[in-house]
Amino acid sequence: MADAIARNVVHLQERIAVACRRAGRRPEEVRLVAVSKTVPPERIREAYEAGLRHFGENRVQEAQAKRPALADLDVTWHLIGHLQTNKARTGRELFHWIHSVDSLRLAEKLDRAAEPDPGSDQRAGRGVGPAEDSRRLPVLIEVNLGGEASKSGVPESAALELACGMSDLETVELRGLMLVPPYSEDPEEARPYFSRLRELRKVIDSARLPNVRMDELSMGMSHDFEVAVEEGATLVRVGASIFGARP
Ligand SMILES: *Cc1c(COP(=O)(O)O)cnc(C)c1O
């Protein structure tokens, strides 16, 4: 099993490098986020031993349950799934990056979560999670470019306004955009969505908002990451091609 994961990682990194070459990009511009949802801690550790340092989970509760068994690893954790506003504090404690901001209310909750919780005597617990109080939390706006009712994310037309609202926040830093395009077997069908996200990034970037650094595009999964890399992805979120198909 460990061998399979290590082989998968090497193969993936090669494919990312080849896609970068095709697009005239450098492989260092693309970070591989290993999506470890449903994957038990032992196998996450195997991927870590194979050299991966960025991991993504889509549910706060699952991440919370697995984290103690992985506390000794030097991992950058990414939240890639929808975050409910009432879990913003826990989300901030558990993750270094949040890819899925889809409302100003959530962004504000994440901002306030940098302060100690007035409702509990949690001072001793500070510093246990990745979130340090002085740190600015890097976040992305999730954009629902396909307009799918089943998906979270803001519509394209609302992204700039959300970015403007977020530029006032003190401990949250908008770093870019995230996308899950409508599913298609053919990765080429995702290409127009990837390029639209890249254009939207440019539009928001050219607004020159304070506290906003639009340098990241989180897009591309197991079946379409090469196309995403060609279109400018800086964070690709890959699960099945590392850990095997999920049950
Ligand atoms: C599960 C998931 C992925 C990874 O999908 P794979 O097909 O396993 O690579 C990427 N992004 C999000 C938001 C996910 O929920």
Tens digits of residue pLDDT in 189-202: 999 999 999 999 99
Q: How confident is the model at residue 247 (pLDDT cuts 50, 70, 90)?
A: confident
Total Cβ atoms within 10 A of residue 149: 6
Q: How far is the CA of 221 from the centre of ligand 1 (A)?
A: 6
CA neighbor of 115 nearest in space, from 85, 87, 141, 92: 92
Nearest CA to ligand 1 atom 6: 239
Nearest CA to ligand 1 atom 10: 237
Q: How far is the CA of 223 from the centre of ligand 1 (A)?
A: 10
Amino acid at 72: D
Task: Please answer whether residues 202 and 159 qualify as being in contact, where contact means their C-beta atoms are separated by less than 8 angstroms.
Answer: no
Q: How far is the CA of 172 from the centre of ligand 1 (A)?
A: 24
Which atom of ligand 1 lies at the shortest distance from residue 223's CA? 7
Q: In the predicted model, is pLDDT for residue 6 greater than 70? A: yes
Q: What is the pLDDT of residue 127?
A: 44
Task: Please answer whether residues 166 and 174 qualify as being in contact, where contact means their C-beta atoms are separated by less than 8 angstroms.
Answer: yes
Q: How far is the CA of 117 from the centre of ligand 1 (A)?
A: 32
Tokens 């400018």 correspond to 232
pLDDT digits (tens, 9 = 90+) for 64-73: 999 999 999 9
Which atom of ligand 1 lies at the shortest distance from residue 237's CA? 10
What is the overall mean pLDDT for the chain?
Answer: 94
What CA–CA distances, in Å, run from 208 to 146, 161, 170, 202, 212? 26, 13, 17, 10, 8
Q: In the predicted model, is pLDDT for residue 130 greater than 60? A: no
Helix axes 156-166, 104-112, angle to 10 degrees: 30
Q: Which residues form ligand 1's pocket by a CB distance below 6 Å?
A: 35, 37, 58, 80-81, 180, 221-222, 237-241
Top mutation candidate among 31, 221, 222 for ligand 1, by most atoms within 8 Å of CB: 221
Which atom of ligand 1 lies at the shortest distance from residue 239's CA? 8
Q: What is the pLDDT of residue 3?
A: 86
pLDDT, mean of residues 74-92: 98
What CA–CA distances, in Å, run from 189 to 114, 183, 194, 195, 227? 40, 9, 10, 11, 10
Q: How confident is the model at residue 120 (pLDDT cuts 50, 70, 90)?
A: low
Cβ neighbours of residue 95 closer than 8 Å, sequence gap 6 or more: 57, 63, 77, 78, 79, 130, 131
Report, in angstroms and rounded to the nearest whole number, the Rg of the chain calculated over CA atoms: 18
Q: In the predicted model, is pLDDT for residue 185 greater than 60? A: yes
pLDDT, mean of residues 42-49: 98
Q: How far is the CA of 56 from the centre of ligand 1 (A)?
A: 9
Q: What is the pLDDT of residue 115?
A: 84
Q: What is the pLDDT of residue 124?
A: 45
